[in-house]
Structure 1
Amino acid sequence: MKKYVTYIKAACLSTALMLGATACSDYLDKSEESDISATEPYKNFTNFQGFVELLYNNIPLFDKGYWSNSFNWGDDEIISANINYHMVYKIDQGDFWGWQSEFDGWGTGWLDRKDFKPNAKDRFNKGLWPCAWWGIRQCNMGLENLELLTDATLEQKKAIEGQLLFFRGWYHFMLMQYFGGLPYIDEVMNASGQLTRPRLSYH
């Protein structure tokens, strides 16, 4: 048996050395053709609509954010007698920070995701908090670049604008349901600047 373990270790070591010796740094280099200009997403209706459709993909699934989930927080529902990691239980225990991913060890909540990735196909990567702020920024970027859409009919341009305005309002509304009044963001904000917008009332 020891002889086989020695053979397996030797095979693993030689494979690792062989892969390390043949690794090529050129593989990670990016070709110039892969760069796109900053105006490429907005140049025609097809490209701009593709930019907008990313917003549809980033709608969090409130009822499928985990294997089991709690999305109706205003009811006396019991998901399971043994589940103590859903938000409804945390609220009952006074843990009002439990919606944030760093305080939710299981990652069961749909409000926040520490592993959020824009346009992820996996439902487990979509939380309302990161999706909404990312979506609001995308909407504002699209609205600020709407004048670059020249290869489109007036109806197509209005369709793009309508979708962007809808999603910007919808994401603000979804956040307000859980956090009350918040700043209304209607421009692309500088990420390195001071965020000093006043918090508005719910109304």
Structure 2
Amino acid sequence: MKTIYKSFLTLGAALTMMCGFSSCEDYLDKDPDSNVSPETPFKNFQNAQGYVEEIYNCIPNIAQCDWTTSWNLGDDEIQNPQADDMMLHQVDIGNYYAWQGSSGFYFGNKAFGGNPRSNSPFDHGIYAHAWYCIAKVNKALNTFEDYFTGTKEEHDLILGQLYFFRAWWHFEMMKWLGGLPYVDQEFSASETPQLERLSYLECADKVAEDFSRAASLLPVDWDKTTAGKKTMGHNELRINKITALCYLGKNYLWAASPLMQHGAQTGGARTYDYDAGYASKAADALGEVLQMVESGSTQYALVSFDYDDIYNHKKSKTATNCYSDLFFTTGQAWLQPGSTEAIFRGPSTGWSFTRYNYSRTFGPNALCAQDNKIHQPTANYVEYYGMENGLPLDDPDSGYDPNYPFKGRDPRFYHDIIFDGVQYINGDPGADAAMKYAGLATGGSMRAVSNASRTGYFYQKLVPHTCQKIDQGSADDYGPNPHAYIPYMRLADIYLMYAE
């Protein structure tokens, strides 16, 4: 935890000063003499950055916001019946409002009662903190110019982060709720705002304005700024120009989509009916990023896929940044995953939450004995992995043979998917000898619907198969420093969005 949080400026004094900006009830309970003057949080760069750091702290950890979590709500994943209370299953049965009481879903974690100052991922959620963080931004923007004393560079760094976060929290809310009021002004505790709910496109235009402002103010790399040199080597989580441009492009691309343009449609007549204007703006923003990346003028680069043993995630001896490091690291002093591709992440204290419980929810409960709520890929998801020649399974030239369905597949398949017959336990299985090799065929040792795989597959894209009680010393116990995290945005996403 110390390794992750030393990337931030010292917050103690600044966060103490922030007590005056908490809830109305807390404010009314205070002795008036204890109130902090309005200029204190913004009088210099260190105080102002400390003010902003609390917003970073509120970014939810998608995968570790509770003991067991749901985040992949499409048809790519399923869990076993003990997880029927989870958001994943509730969406499958059409209960979309279940997020309001689901502690295992990062959007509305802990029924909106999260603590913005807590270091525990259990205390953070999008809905739990969005309005709080937006209010913090608006208070700062309303006050900052009057009191700040510092260099132009420091001034722009603070403003750029504030504009980014106002846009980002609105954007994340829009993903789940559609259009909503765009709150860009400060309200007093005595006011009851009556703001118009905007359409999705109206809201997206407001988001774009703030992301554009942020991109114009922020540097590509904090390590190359005078202010950033004070925290040299620990600025990788900070918002920069690339982050803002990438989200600007994503926001425009979503606004261009047929769903946002025409609403839900049946029959598929308008599936590809994008708005050309928004799509062009998306291409401009994303293309600017890719041009900088490919010219070598950023700190970002695609990771390699270079393995001596793909299935066991053993990198080639010459590999440095590899695909597995995007989601899970071990033996690297609790290094937060993401490598050179991570464009947006929140701070993570996931070293302990990785071991208990997250990493123990991807295999059969008999070996991964924590919560019996197991993440499993669906057959649909597995079929998305094509063949080594790049063709989909149903292409007549792909070479796919249904009698040998696991032969000649895309190399990522062998990195990500556990299928029938592969060696699941590397060590001595002892009493669990029946599970040394994955029994995932019908009637196999790992096919119990209640506590193993209901689909005939497990997946290890995010957590290696060695995270179980036999092999835990190599990847799952505290000693090797395991750390799991799912980045919100990575460089590969930018290439895919630009192509779209």
Q: TM-score range by the shorter chain?
A: 0.7 to 0.9
Q: Whole-Å Cα distance in 2 between the matches of residues 65 and 158 of structure 1?
A: 32
Q: State the match for 1:6 in structure 2.
A: none
Structure-2 residue corresponding to 1:157: 155
Q: Do structure 1's residue 120 and structure 2's residue 123 form an aligned pair?
A: no
Shift of 1:94: 2.9
Who is 1:58 aligned against? 58
What corresponds to 2:170 in structure 1? 172
For residues 42-77 of structure 1, give each alpha carbon's deviation from its aligned partner in whole angstroms, at most 9, with x where no partner exists: 111111111011111110111111122111112341
Q: CA deviation at 1:40?
A: 0.8
Larger displacement relative to structure 2 (63-72 or 45-54): 63-72
Query: CA deviation digits over 1:126-164, x for unaligned, max 9?
Result: 111021111111111111111134320111111100000
2:266 maps to what in 1? none
| Greater mean alpha carbon deviation, residues 92-101 or residues 82-91 | 92-101
Question: What is the alpha-carbon distance in structure 2 between the residues aligned to residue 198 and residue 35 of structure 1?
Answer: 33
Query: For 1:202, which of 200, 203, 206 is the aligned residue?
Result: 200
Query: Any unmatched runs of 5+ in structure 2?
Result: 1-29, 202-500
- Cα distance in 1 between the residues matched to 2:188 and 2:90: 35
Could you tell me how far 1:109 is from its partner in structure 2? 2.1
1:130 aligned to which of 128, 131, 140: 128
Q: 2 CA distance for matches of 1:157 and 1:108? A: 38
Q: Which moved more, 1:110-119 or 1:181-190?
A: 110-119
Q: After TM superposition, give the deviation of residue 86 of structure 1 in Å.
A: 1.0
Distance 1:49 1:197 in 2: 30
Structure 1 residue 197 displacement after superposition: 1.1
- The answer to which of 68-77 and 175-184 deviates more is 68-77
The TM-score normalised by the length of structure 2 is: 0.32
CA distance in 1, matches of 2:47, 2:175: 33
| Greater helix proportion | 1
Q: Specify the code of the residue in structure 2 equivalent to 1:74.
A: G
Tell me the distance in 1 between the aligned counterparts of 2:60 and 2:38: 28
Per the TM alignment, residue 168 of structure 1 is displaced from its structure 2 partner at its CA by 0.3
8 Å contact from structure 1 (residues 43, 151) kept in 2: yes
When structure 1 is superposed on structure 2, of 190-199 and 140-149 the one drifting more is 190-199
Larger deviation, residues 80-89 vs 187-196 = 187-196
In the alignment, is the contact (CA less than 8 A) between 1:149 and 1:157 conserved in 2?
no
Residue 177 of structure 2 aligns with an amino acid whose one-letter code is F
Contact kept, 8 Å, 2:134 with 2:169, in 1: the verdict is: yes
Shift of residue 35 of structure 1? Answer: 4.7
Question: Aligned match of 2:187 in 178, 186, 189?
Answer: 189
Residue identity opposite 2:56 in structure 1: Y
SS of the equivalent of 1:120 reads coil
Aligned to 1:111: 107
Gaps of 5+ in 1: 1-28
- By relative contact order (CA 8 Å, sep 6+), the higher-ranking structure is 1
Partner in structure 1 of residue 99 of structure 2: 99
Equivalent in the alignment of 1:3:
none
| Mapped partners of 2:84, 2:189: distance in 1 | 37
* Stretch of structure 1 that moved more, 168-177 or 147-156: 147-156
Structure 2 CA distance for aligned equivalents of residues 90 and 192 of structure 1: 38
Q: TM-score, normalised by structure 1?
A: 0.76
Shift of 1:190: 3.2
Equivalent residue, structure 1, for 2:238: none
Give 1:97 deviation, angstroms: 1.8
Aligned residues: 170
Identity of aligned residues (%): 37
Q: CA RMSD in A?
A: 2.1
The runs of at least 4 aligned residues of structure 1 exceeding 4 Å deviation read none
- Cα deviations by residue, 1:166-191 (Å, 9 ceiling, x for unpaired): 00001110100011011111011234
Paired residue secondary structure (2:99): coil
- Structure 2 contact 39–147 (Cα < 8 Å) conserved: no
Q: Give the secondary-structure state (helix, strand or coil) at the position aligned to 1:100.
A: helix
Contact 1:43 1:148 in 2 (8 A): no
